[in-house]
Amino acid sequence: MQNSFSCFDSGPVNGPDSPRALVTGGAGFLASHLCEKLLSEGFRVTAMDNLLTGNLANIAHLRDRPDFNFVHHDVSTHIHWTEDRLDRIYHFASPASPIDYLQLPIQTLKVGSMGTHNALGLAKATGARLLLASTSEVYGDPLVHPQVEEYWGNVNPIGPRGVYDEAKRFAEAIVMAYHRYHKVPTRIVRIFNTYGPRMRPKDGRIVPAFICEALKGEPITVFGDGTQTRSFCFVADLIEGIYRLMESDYDLPVNIGNPGEWTVLDFAEEIRRITGSSSRIAFRPLPQDDPKVRQPNISKAKEILGWEPKYKLADGLAPTIAFFKEQIAQGLA
């Protein structure tokens, strides 16, 4: 089953004395890979998800392990923790694709505010260290390029994308408030465009959209004139950076992403070339507040974490395309 693809060897089963980690949004694309990484590093892992956008297929291959369990729960309500210890909380719960947060605006705002508050309350009560999965979207349509962590952003708070951008900006603010006022140990990662197996085929993001359209021979949909830029980080690189950040002593936001920058049109041509597709390019109007540029400055990640991406785009696209081929064959894309 393609959803069982893993970049990490989860190794032997971890025992009752192993450290414990909670991953909210644990059945999602990124968090399911994170669960595997944590298991491989010796953690006992609880994945918590309300399955609004997550998929149990992403963690099906882990559910028979005695050091892994799944809890169906919405973290926007109180998180009840019954185990005797908790060492790490990775707060990934949130709709994250444009299609999702435009269709689920209230839920997106609630999980960014109330969900983050609840996760921080649990961290305070248990003494766990918490990492917030924030996003490059806190920079909005940036006026600084590439984006550095000190940049405050250019965000439209009342635009359609504001429900996601501002939810994450609030989440960062409350994380720092708990860190400063309650002395909760916290970390913040700003995640840039990431791709890999287990992305949802129809989540509105550029990688699954272009690959599925190319594989099906459908027109590849480019919004605007295609000159806007994006940077693409393979999921294994991203998860490694996030793990290093959690285990570091640094408590301010850190960009994790691949600084290689592509125009959307060039990326569409690259997907067409790699897949051998004859799909034509179809241009559509650019959505409101869509960022014109997106490229991380990763100087802090290099200096503080000793991290930089290892995967070349073609190397990461190979398993990603294979995953979507399987999804299409099964009628899931």
Which residues are annotated as catalytic? 164
Phi, psi of 137 (to 5 degrees): -65, -15
Q: Report which of 232, 209, 218, 238 is spatially closest to residue 327, judged by C-alpha positions.
A: 209
What is the sign of the dihedral through the CA atoms of 292, 298, 299 and 301?
positive
How many C-beta neighbours within 10 Å does residue 104 have?
Answer: 18
**What is the three-class DSSP state of 271?**
helix
Backbone CA torsion sign across 112, 158, 101, 151: negative
Q: Which helix (H) or strand (E) holds 179?
A: helix 162-181
What's at 80, amino acid-wise? H
What interhelical angle do 264-275 and 313-329 show, nearest 10? 60
Let me know: does 152 contact 97? Beta carbons within 8 Å.
no
Residue whose C-alpha is closest to residue 110's, from 75, 156, 137: 75
What is the identity of the amino acid at 124? Answer: K
Q: Taking a C-beta distance cutoff of 8 angstroms, is the pair 190, 295 a contact? A: no
Cβ burial 154-180 (10 Å sphere, 16+ → b, else e): ebeeeeebbbbbbbbbbbbebbbebbe
Place of tokens 């309300």: 50
E strand spans, the chain: 20-24, 44-49, 68-72, 88-91, 129-135, 186-191, 194-195, 220-223, 229-231, 233-234, 254-256, 261-263, 281-284
